[in-house]
Homo-oligomer: A and B are copies of this chain.
Amino acid sequence: MAASRAPALSPKPPDCGDCPIRHRAVCARCESDELAELERIKFYRGYQAGQVVVSAGEPMGFVGSVVSGIATLTQTMEDGRRSMVGLLLPSDFVGRPGRETAAYDVTATTDLVMCCFRRGAFEKLMLRTPNIGQRLLEMTLDELDAAREWMLVLGRKTAREKIASFLATIARRDATLRPGAADGGIVFDLPLTREAMADYLGLTLETVSRQMSALRRDGVIRLQGNRHVTVPDLARLIEAAGDDSDGGLPG
């Protein structure tokens, strides 16, 4: 969990089949020559768990998306209060065309591989390729919806409901990533520490811990170690979340 800085090129870049920019973020409707152009300007970056990708206010020369691993988007006040404003899972896009500096701290919470494009080159390509902008608009609108869903969670839900909402979100996302496995319930690993969960949910880490224990006592979830979670009955979890049919994941 070293938190040093210099990003390193990943030793073995994943092949294009793994690149969400191509398959999800940008190129769903691109022509082949546009794809070729994207290929020319793309490169991979690897980060270790705990490493800072960029800090808020720093120049950010690239945009890109997560290939594997998990990163967080956080904001910090001068007095140290922190708030997570996004959780970046594989295929999520990072960075903003037309902006010089990062608006938030981006941190890898697990080992992370990103597929990147130099910002300038990407912007120029966008001008010539409407599909890329279209796709980016769709993704941004999805993120906006997710952020707004989360405003309801932050502003109006109880601690227990917040935890349940978070777990349900992860469970659903995980379930779509690898379907099947409905046998003994949904099983996944929490991508965050209790503290990071607290920052995401507007709680303290103690409250997160207590509510996790409470959900365990009530049989809504099972825990093996600190991170490994089993949800025997997703419906019960969603019920505990006071769900307004939430589901989006703020990324």
Which single residue of chain B is at the shortest CB-CB distance from A82?
B156
In contact, A148 and B244 (Cβ under 8 angstroms): no
**Using a Cβ–Cβ cut-off of 8 Å, how many residues does chain A contribute to the interface with B?**
45
**A108 vs chain B, min Cβ distance (A):** 19
**Which chain B positions have C-beta within 8 A of A133?**
130, 133-134, 137
- Count copies of this chain in the complex: 2
In contact, A85 and B148 (Cβ under 8 angstroms): yes
**Which chain B positions have C-beta within 8 A of A136?**
137
Please list the 8 inter-chain residue pairs (A to B) with the smallest Cβ-Cβ separation, ordered nearest first. A155-B202, A85-B148, A154-B154, A147-B147, A83-B152, A130-B130, A77-B244, A81-B156
Q: Is A160 in the interface zone, CB < 8 Å from B?
A: no
**Which chain B positions have C-beta within 8 A of A148?**
73, 75, 85-86, 103-104, 147
Q: Is A213 in the interface zone, CB < 8 Å from B?
A: no
Q: Is A212 in the interface zone, CB < 8 Å from B?
A: no
